[in-house]
Amino acid sequence: EAGVAQSPRYKIIEKRQSVAFWCNPISGHATLYWYQQILGQGPKLLIQFQNNGVVDDSQLPKDRFSAERLKGVDSTLKIQPAKLEDSAVYLCASSLDPSGNIQYFGAGTRLSVL
């Protein structure tokens, strides 16, 4: 079974530029999560989708971050414009169980904002 795929693995941009991350969850997984992991901290949920609907985006900085999952499968997370404090690893996870008890994580995208 293929795991959660994310791309790119690494991205370096300058502040005020835009960037987008892509995630393809495990086939058949209805729930998709985006987490932000700042160096030395645990991951923090940014947004959760159930199929193509948003379940929780309470911690998403909506003035600069956006995410979509139009067909209920893959998803993109965008930052526009980026700030220095957005430097982090962006993790995508998916789960089969609607209660989300077991989440499977991708390898992440490491973003450096200069």
The answer to the question of residue 100 lying near other proteins (CB under 8 A) is yes
Separation CA 49–CA 68 (nearest Å): 9
Burial class (CB in 10 A: 0-12, 13-18, 19+), 78: middle
In degrees and rounded to multiples of 5, residue 27 shows phi and psi of -55, 130
* Among the listed residues 24, 36, 75, 103, the single contact to other proteins using CB under 8 A: 103
Q: What are 26's two structure tokens? A: 């495990």
The answer to the question of residue 44 lying near other proteins (CB under 8 A) is yes
The answer to the question of residue 41 lying near other proteins (CB under 8 A) is yes
The answer to the question of residue 2 lying near other proteins (CB under 8 A) is no
Contact segment (CB under 8 A) with other proteins among 18-26, 37-45, 61-69, 80-88 equals 37-45
* Among the listed residues 88, 91, 111, 113, the single contact to other proteins using CB under 8 A: 91
Positions touching other proteins (CB under 8 A) are 3-4, 31, 33, 35, 40-45, 48, 55-56, 91, 93, 95, 97-108
